[in-house]
Structure 1
Amino acid sequence: MINSTQVSYFILTAYLDSGPLKYLYFMIILSLYMLIVISNVFLIVVICMNRSLHEPMYLFLCSLFVNELYGSTGLFPFLLLQILSDIHTVSKAFCFVQIFWLCSYGNVEFFNLAIMSYDRYLAICYPLQYNTRMSPHKIIILIAVPWLFSFLAIIVLVCLSGTLQLCGNIINNIYCGNYPIVKLACFDTRVNNIYGLIYTVISICIPLILILYTYLKILRVCFSGSKQTRQKAVSTCTPHLVSLLNFSFGCCFQILQSRFDVSRVPNVLRVFISLYFGILQPLLNPIMYGMQMSKIRNTCKQVLR
């Protein structure tokens, strides 16, 4: 048995023995990371530097793009090092740093998507009252609270997991996750499970309920409104819905992989499922919002020219 004082590192067993192909995988992952960084940074700069984009919707988008950079930075550099390495281990300290990094990224992402749906709800259902309801003070609160709450909630989560006595150090994934470490615990994990349930309800269920409520209201206005109202709703809500569905699928894949035995699933598919959470969302969002929102698209064209 391995007790908590002896566990100083974890072994990641989901990496493929790819031989010379690891250099090809390294270049693919590096190219994806560079594309994510360039596209998200470009849109952040475009929004910040153009006063015409200093509107609530675009400020919330800016927070979303910052979170994409934050989350991808917690995954890609580590992934690139592991691809080139022949021994796939990670220190206990860095493992918990990565758990904090990726969990807070996911938490902030859900809250950002919920706030953006609330913003669209006000813009479509209460257009005449939108500016008074979405005041600058309220915008600052809606941007700051998800980050502060997520950091505090994940600090507690990591502290609870960090005090567990572990009977193993093997993680069947390509990066660290909270629940795989909880499964390695030697003794009762009731406190971790209770807090994990409360955390899930607050950080996932409540935002999803808010999103569903706002979109039901938006659909109600669309069906009873004019053709112009429906076109406005479709143009502004389509990127958000695609982003929400994409991120929800990624989270579902992560939960299924960590909670259930997936040893019979082909290793290539397991690696894809693990990467889906951290790659598709930061890669898709700049493309979706940059292409679909005419104001951002036109401003980007002006900047590039």
Structure 2
Amino acid sequence: MDDDLNVTIITFGGHVELHKYRYLYFTIMFVVYVLIICSNSTILSLIWVQKSLHEPMYIFIGALLFNSLLFSTCIYPKLLIDFLSEKQITSLSLCNLQSFTYYSLCGAEFLLLSAMAYDRYVSICKPLQYEVIMRTKTVVVLLILAWILPACQLVPSLFISKNYKVCHLTLNGIFCNNSISQLFCMTSRASYITYGAFIALNTVFLPMIFILFTYIKILIISFRSSARMRKKAAKTCSPHLLVMISFSCLCSYDIVIARLKIDLDRTARFIMTLQVVLYHPLFNPIIYGLKIEKIYRHLRKMFSYDKCLCV
């Protein structure tokens, strides 16, 4: 606690051998961050520029990639600064803000995937009504709700934390996530756990159930239809399912380790935490760039054109 400024200083205690490998950590994570920015921005710009990609499916993909950029920017700059700093510290207010932003964007990810699943459901199961249902207004409303709803649900957490006294000043992690609750003095964590379960239910489990339900419906209708319909369903739905599965696995680690307080080895915790912020933002543009035929075709055309200019 800094008495002069009345600021509570939190120390990140999850780093491993930082004094020995700080420059290696920094170089790897900096390269990854640049790759995340470049890959996501490239496809995002392509969707923005190409009028043929101004369709709901591609707009939702663009929103998902933009969310990945926001997610990475929430974590990486502070992480890179900490790798080069003598002390890995932050203020409690900034820690609360980072945790709030982190989980808001995680919730937005699931809701965007839900919107994409709904779009695919309408496209494949109700093709004649697609243009009527998936109007521009509908797409805009779904995008706004995807970012607003998780943030609104998390606002109370900012006020709840102010009611608790800080008992511990070391956070068992490398950035602010669920483990922030372990800093506070709580005689009973029942209310905090109940609130966390409510948030997880609304932003993770219900969207996942909805996504699985829509894809099961798509699968049933596709198998009853022609081979062409099955091929279309596989091409457009498989990338979304891959992204959902990968992100769900990473989120489950965050919930299980932080909420259930599993005593995981420090090095294993460090590696797993890095994977949460490393794989997914890189995974999205690779999946959508390679698996979505229209985007892949534009990317190949763009890079082959650049190569021709160089020659």
- Tell me the TM-score normalised to structure 1 length: 0.93
| 8 Å contact kept, 1:121–1:214 | yes
Task: Tell me the residue number matched to 1:289.
Answer: 288
Task: Tell me the residue number matched to 1:24.
Answer: 24
Which amino acid letter does the alignment assign opposite residue 241 of structure 2? Answer: L
Distance 1:253 1:121 in 2: 29
The alpha-carbon deviation at position 134 of structure 1 amounts to 0.7
3-state DSSP of counterpart to 2:41 = helix
The alpha-carbon deviation at position 264 of structure 1 amounts to 4.4
| 8 Å contact kept, 1:43–1:286 | yes
3-state DSSP of counterpart to 1:183 = helix
Q: Relative to 1, partners in 2 of residues 1:183 and 1:22: Cα closer, same or farther, differing over 3 Å? A: closer
Which amino acid letter does the alignment assign opposite residue 150 of structure 1? Answer: P
The alpha-carbon deviation at position 211 of structure 1 amounts to 0.6
Distance 1:281 1:207 in 2: 18
Q: After superposing the two structures, state which structure 1 stretch, 289-298 or 192-201, moved more.
A: 192-201
- Superposition pairs of residues 21-100 of structure 1, within 5 angstroms: 21-100=21-100
Q: Does 1:183 align with 2:182?
A: yes
Task: Tell me the residue number matched to 1:271.
Answer: 270
Kindly provide the CA deviation profile for residues 159-205 of structure 1, in whole angstroms up to 9, marking residues without a partner as x.
2223322211221111112x322233223444433322221211112
The alpha-carbon deviation at position 15 of structure 1 amounts to 0.3
Number of residue pairs matched by the alignment:
302
The alpha-carbon deviation at position 57 of structure 1 amounts to 0.1
Q: Does 1:120 align with 2:120?
A: yes
Structure 1: which 5+ residue stretches go unaligned?
Answer: none
Q: After superposing the two structures, state which structure 1 stretch, 270-279 or 240-249, moved more.
A: 270-279
| 8 Å contact kept, 1:7–1:168 | no
Which amino acid letter does the alignment assign opposite residue 95 of structure 2? Answer: C
- Superposition pairs of residues 217-228 of structure 1, within 5 angstroms: 217-228=217-228
How much is the aligned-residue C-alpha RMSD, in angstroms?
2.1
The alpha-carbon deviation at position 216 of structure 1 amounts to 1.1
Distance 2:285 2:201 in 1: 28
Identity in percent? 32
The alpha-carbon deviation at position 97 of structure 1 amounts to 1.3
Structure 2: which 5+ residue stretches go unaligned?
Answer: 306-311
Q: Relative to 1, partners in 2 of residues 1:172 and 1:214: Cα closer, same or farther, differing over 3 Å? A: same
| 8 Å contact kept, 1:182–1:189 | no
The alpha-carbon deviation at position 35 of structure 1 amounts to 0.3
Q: Relative to 1, partners in 2 of residues 1:199 and 1:183: Cα closer, same or farther, differing over 3 Å? A: same
Q: Relative to 1, partners in 2 of residues 1:181 and 1:21: Cα closer, same or farther, differing over 3 Å? A: closer
Distance 1:155 1:264 in 2: 30
Distance 2:293 2:68 in 1: 21
Kindly provide the CA deviation profile for residues 108-153 of structure 1, in whole angstroms up to 9, marking residues without a partner as x.
0010111111111111111121111111111110111111112222
Task: Tell me the residue number matched to 1:163.
Answer: 163
| 8 Å contact kept, 2:7–2:91 | no
Task: Tell me the residue number matched to 2:309.
Answer: none
| 8 Å contact kept, 1:161–1:181 | no
Task: Tell me the residue number matched to 2:140.
Answer: 140
Which amino acid letter does the alignment assign opposite residue 89 of structure 2? Answer: T
3-state DSSP of counterpart to 1:29 = helix
Distance 2:154 2:103 in 1: 7
Q: After superposing the two structures, state which structure 1 stretch, 190-199 or 94-103, moved more.
A: 190-199
3-state DSSP of counterpart to 2:63 = helix
Q: After superposing the two structures, state which structure 1 stretch, 270-279 or 229-238, moved more.
A: 270-279
3-state DSSP of counterpart to 1:75 = helix
3-state DSSP of counterpart to 1:90 = strand
Distance 1:273 1:7 in 2: 30
| 8 Å contact kept, 1:13–1:171 | yes
Distance 2:202 2:259 in 1: 19
The alpha-carbon deviation at position 101 of structure 1 amounts to 1.5
The alpha-carbon deviation at position 7 of structure 1 amounts to 6.9
Q: Does 1:235 align with 2:230?
A: no
